[in-house]
Every structure is written in structure tokens, then in C-alpha cells.
Amino acid sequence: MSTVGTQVGSGDRAWWMRRSFATLLCALAALYTLMPLIWLLFGVTKSLPDLYGSNGFAPSGGFHVWENVRDLFAQDGGLYGRWLLNTAVYAFGGAAVATLVSVAAGYAFDKFEFPGREKWYGLVIAGVLVPHTAIVVPMYLMMSEIRMTDTMWSVLIPVMVNPFGVYLARAYSSGAIPNELLESARMDGAGELRTFFSVGLRLMGPGALTIFLFQFIAIWNNFFLPMVMITNNDLFTLGQGLFVWNTAVDQNPDYTRMVVVGSAVATIPLILLFIPLQRRWRAGLTEGGIK
């Protein structure tokens, strides 16, 4: 009896050791992940001298969040708010169109047989494989030739295309839309386009959400494209604006504070918004066959 007891006990201890070790590893990774965000969070509360002069991982005398945020939105005639709006237009508009376009194409690739289908699809995959930044400068050169740079379109149009979205949509379509359902819709005399909108889109909803979120984040995070295309301050994205402020620090030291506060304001709400969406997104990944 007693020997069995010790065996269970030592097994128990070993299990606890493993548990603590595994948990500790995760905790360290979490600490590493949170470190820059915590620095940013404390940064929002600080005045300019404190940003330079105090420990970045601790609060310092005074709580300056409100005046920092107020100054942020007042700086340079309220440009920050403008940039926020622009970024939202690029991200929502671009992601919405990209999603619709990708879902339609993915659906067609899955549900229709047409000449050269796999050749066309190969082109889509080639698009996935070529890194987007390699296209940006050529795109600028082309748009500059037709005088399209420095317009909202020069950023919006390129982000309306997402070959990877087509790939995902094709997978969603084959997984989520039974062919029989389409058949019966056709029997009822519905046109192909109507069938797509009434049956296809509805069933691909969760997948479409994943594609949307993918593209939304990609646009929100994109720095290179707007940086190359846009020179007009009024059309800047947040990232571009913050970058320009960051390079202007040697002309006005207060831009340091604006950049820190501006980064936090651009980041924190999005994080809060995204946490609840995260699970949906993961579900979409599973469905898309990334497994």
C-alpha cells in the first residue's frame, strides 16, 4: 500500500513539475510579448521630460493621459484624427471589396468547370507566392505614369486584391456549400449570380469573415504601400503620419510624445476590439482547411 502511495506521490510531483515548467515557459513568452505594450501603456501617462527621464516600465509622477490624448488630436491642426479616418477608410473599404471579390472568385473556381480553370488558378497561386512589397515600387512607377499616385485610389485599389483570399474562399466553398443545394436552387430556376448571392454567400459567411479580418489587418498594418503612393499629409495613414512625426523629432522634441501617444491610441482600441473576434477568426482558419 505504502509503496503504491509513494509512487502516486512522486508521479504527482513529476506532474506538478512539468506543469510548473510548461506554465512558466508560457508566462515568460507572455511577458516578452507584453513588454513593449506595457512600455507603450506607461508612455501614454507620461509628460515629455518623463518619457526621457524616468523608468519606462513604471508610472512616473503625474498622470497625463487626458492632456496627451487631447494634444495628440490637436497637433498640426488635428491631422491625427484625419489619419485615423483615412486608415479606417482604406482598411474597411479595401477589406470589404477584397472579401467580396475573393469570395466570388473562390466560389467560381470551386463550383464551375470552365476552360483553363486550373491555369487561371495557377495565376492566383503565383500571386500568393510573390511578396507584395516587390510589386509596390513597380505599381508606383506605373501609377505615376498615369498620374494616379497621391490619390486615395492609389492605396485602395491595390488592397482590393488578395490572391490568398481566393485560395481560402475556394476551400471554404468546397467545404461549406453542398453541390446538391446549388442544384436545387438551379432547379428552382434561379440564375447563377442569384444563386451565388442567395446560397453561396450565405453559407460562406464565416469564411468570408476570416478573409475580411485577414485583409483588414494586412491593410491596417501596411506601411510600405501608402508610404510610396501618398505624399499629401491629408491622405496619410496612421502609420505614415506617425513615421513622419518620428522623423521630425529633431525639429520639435515634442513629437516624441505625440508618436508614443499616437501609437498607443492606434493600437489599444484595436486590441480590445480584436480579442472577442479572435475565436471566430480561429474557427474560420480551421474551416479553411489550414490544418
- CA dist 45 and 69 (Å) reads 10
Identity of the residue, 27 or 74, whose beta carbon is nearer to other proteins in the bound complex = 27
- CA dist 125 and 117 (Å) reads 12
Longest dimension (CA), the chain: 87
Identity of the residue, 2 or 194, whose beta carbon is nearer to other proteins in the bound complex = 194
- Position 258 contacts other proteins (CB under 8 A): no
Q: Taking CB under 8 A as the criterion, which residues in 90-129 touch other proteins?
A: 92-93, 96-97, 100-102, 104-105, 107-115, 117-118, 120-129
* Distance in Å, CB of 158 to other proteins, minimum: 5
Identity of the residue, 1 or 264, whose beta carbon is nearer to other proteins in the bound complex = 264
Identity of the residue, 64 or 164, whose beta carbon is nearer to other proteins in the bound complex = 164
* Distance in Å, CB of 161 to other proteins, minimum: 4
Q: Which DSSP state fits 199?
A: I
Q: Taking CB under 8 A as the criterion, which residues in 34-53 touch other proteins?
A: 34-37, 39-40, 51-52
- CA dist 283 and 280 (Å) reads 5
- Position 243 contacts other proteins (CB under 8 A): yes
Q: Which residues touch 133 (CB under 8 Å, ≥6 apart)? A: 224
* Distance in Å, CB of 3 to other proteins, minimum: 19
Identity of the residue, 69 or 161, whose beta carbon is nearer to other proteins in the bound complex = 161
What is the DSSP track for 22-69? HHHHHHHHHHHHHHHHHHHHHHHT--HHHHHHS-TTS--SS--HHHHH
- Position 271 contacts other proteins (CB under 8 A): yes
- Position 156 contacts other proteins (CB under 8 A): yes
- CA dist 196 and 211 (Å) reads 17
> Interface with other proteins by CB under 8 A: which range of 2-10, 67-75, 154-162?
154-162
Instruction: Tell the residue number behind the cell numbers 479580418, with chain if given.
Output: 213
